[in-house]
């Protein structure tokens, strides 16, 4: 190793391999991505979850195109039909095919969930990075805002603001504004952990400014946990969207989302429970798959969890 430290010139792969052999070490030529994939492949359950997730997403995207039924057009002759071959999920009180509506609703729910996850991760990462790296008043402000989120019931904000923004975009933005402190806390912790390590000090000594250090030097090290949090957020967002719909505060009907479908069917719980349980099952399935996938990603993206 001492040779490596003394030689300032970069070593080519040949020399590295020779050096490693002399020192009794194994040189792993794979990139970080390849190693992570090798570790992920060992989690059979997570791969199954990912496959199921792809299948569900495809059925959301393609399903409504193949269906012969319209999603909003009432068809009074076919009111409240129980599940059958023609209508696998039955029909609702004004004769709309519930399978078509569920798949189409799933499309909106999933879209909202992904947009929320991306937005939340962006906002949370920037604020978390600033707060962790700069500390001082920025950090104090963030911790006070986090406390404020505990005190002000989310419901109050949701009910008041949802009067003005109940489109797909509006609901997404609203959820992102409520969720970003979760990511910010994770990112802040990581930045605190890295900001006094040698590579950061070296970068600072070499004259790098705070923005460069934060986003070029520290951020790449935090990608793993951020990706994991973003994945789990998709699950959290789909649950929140359906809960908003259940309370009648989500995207304005007649646009179907999984939450809106549950809300419409709520009154029939005692007579036709399947109308509530079917869209609910999709929410649970998606969120469950995402949790298993996120948990496996946590292992796979952590460079300290062995060589896989």
Partner 1 sequence: MLAYTLRRVLATIPLLIIGTFIVFALTSQVADPLGPLRLNVNADQAAYDRIIDQYDLDKPVPVRYVNWITSAVQGDMGESAAYTGTPVFDLVSERAINTARLAIPAFLIIALLAVGLGVYSAVNQYKTSDYVVTGISFLGISMPTFVFGLLLQSVLVVYFQRWFGIKLFYVAQMQTGSIVEVLKSHTLPILTLILVITAGESRFQRAAMLEVINSDYIRTARAKGLPRRTVIFKHALRNAMIPLVTIWAIDFAALLGGSVITESVFSWPGLGRLLLDGIGRSDLNLTMGIVLLIATLVVVFNLIADLLYGLLDPRIRYE
Nearest distance from C-beta of residue 243 to partner 1, angstroms:
5
- Contact region with partner 1 (CB under 8 A), list: 8-16, 94-102, 196-204, 262-270: 262-270
Sign of CA dihedral 49, 51, 55, 61: positive
Instruction: Please pick, from the candidates 33, 77, 163, 198, the single residue that binds partner 1 as defined by CB under 8 A.
Output: 163
280 sits near partner 1 (criterion: CB under 8 A): yes
Name the residue among 70, 181, 170 with its Cα closest to residue 131. 181
Binding marks (x or -) toward partner 1, 123..162, rule CB under 8 A? ---------------------x--xx-xxxx-xxx-xxx-
27 sits near partner 1 (criterion: CB under 8 A): no
Q: Closest CB to partner 1 among 86 and 269? A: 269
288 sits near partner 1 (criterion: CB under 8 A): yes
Instruction: Please pick, from the candidates 76, 270, 304, 306, the single residue that binds partner 1 as defined by CB under 8 A.
Output: 270
38 sits near partner 1 (criterion: CB under 8 A): no
Name the residue among 136, 242, 133, 226 with its Cα closest to residue 180. 226
Sign of CA dihedral 226, 228, 230, 232: negative
Q: Residue 243 phi/psi, 5° resolution?
A: -65, -40
- Contact region with partner 1 (CB under 8 A), list: 13-21, 66-74, 168-176, 267-275: 267-275
Q: Please report how many Cα atoms fall inside a 13 Å half-sphere around the Cα of residue 24, on the Cβ side.
A: 0
Nearest distance from C-beta of residue 262 to partner 1, angstroms:
7
- Contact region with partner 1 (CB under 8 A), list: 13-21, 93-101, 192-200, 261-269: 261-269
Spell out the alpha helix ranges (H) of the chain: 2-6, 13-22, 32-41, 44-66, 98-134, 136-151, 154-161, 168-194, 198-205, 210-212, 223-246, 258-265, 274-300
Q: Which of residues 73-132 bind partner 1 (CB under 8 A)?
A: none
d(CA 259, CA 186): 29
Q: Closest CB to partner 1 among 221 and 243? A: 243
d(CA 183, CA 185): 5
According to DSSP, the residues that pair with 91 across neighbouring strands are 97
Instruction: Please pick, from the candidates 165, 247, 255, 302, the single residue that binds partner 1 as defined by CB under 8 A.
Output: 247
Instruction: Please pick, from the candidates 36, 187, 262, 297, the single residue that binds partner 1 as defined by CB under 8 A.
Output: 262
Name the residue among 236, 257, 134 with its Cα closest to residue 183. 236
Residues 91/79, Cβ–Cβ less than 8 Å: yes
Who's near 82: CB < 8 A, 6+ residues apart? 90, 272
Q: Closest CB to partner 1 among 124 and 280? A: 280
Q: Closest CB to partner 1 among 205 and 270? A: 270
Instruction: Please pick, from the candidates 61, 201, 223, 269, the single residue that binds partner 1 as defined by CB under 8 A.
Output: 269
Binding site for partner 1 (CB under 8 A): 144, 147-148, 150-153, 155-157, 159-161, 163, 235, 239, 242-243, 246-247, 262, 266, 269-270, 273, 276-277, 280, 283-284, 287-288, 290-292, 295
């Amino acid at each position: 190793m001492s040779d490596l430290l003394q030689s300032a010139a970069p070593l080519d792969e040949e020399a590295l391999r020779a050096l490693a052999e002399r020192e009794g070490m194994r040189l792993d030529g794979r990139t970080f991505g390849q190693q992570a994939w090798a570790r992920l492949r060992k989690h059979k359950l997570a791969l199954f979850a990912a496959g199921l997730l792809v299948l569900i997403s495809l059925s959301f995207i393609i399903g409504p195109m193949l269906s012969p039924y319209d999603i909003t057009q009432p068809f009074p002759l076919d009111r409240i039909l129980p599940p059958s071959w023609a209508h696998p999920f039955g029909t609702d009180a004004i004769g709309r095919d519930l399978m078509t509506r569920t798949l189409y609703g799933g499309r909106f729910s999933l879209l909202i969930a992904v947009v929320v996850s991306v937005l939340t991760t962006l906002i949370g990462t920037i604020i978390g990075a600033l707060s962790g790296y700069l500390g001082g008043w920025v950090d104090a402000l963030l911790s006070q805002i986090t406390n404020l989120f505990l005190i002000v019931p989310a419901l109050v904000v949701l009910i008041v603001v949802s009067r003005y923004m109940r489109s797909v975009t509006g609901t997404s933005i609203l959820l992102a504004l409520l969720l970003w402190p979760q990511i910010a806390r994770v990112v802040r912790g990581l930045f605190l952990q890295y900001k006094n390590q040698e590579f950061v000090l070296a970068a600072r000594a070499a004259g790098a400014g705070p923005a460069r250090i934060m986003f070029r030097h520290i951020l790449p090290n935090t990608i793993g946990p951020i990706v994991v949090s973003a994945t789990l957020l998709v699950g959290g967002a789909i649950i929140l969207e359906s809960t908003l719909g259940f309370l009648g505060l989500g995207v304005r009907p007649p646009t179907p989302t999984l939450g809106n479908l549950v809300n419409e069917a709520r009154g029939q719980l005692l007579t036709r429970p399947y109308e509530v349980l079917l869209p609910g099952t999709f929410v649970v399935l998606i969120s469950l798959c995402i949790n298993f996938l996120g948990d496996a990603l946590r292992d796979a993206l952590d460079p300290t969890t062995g060589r896989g």
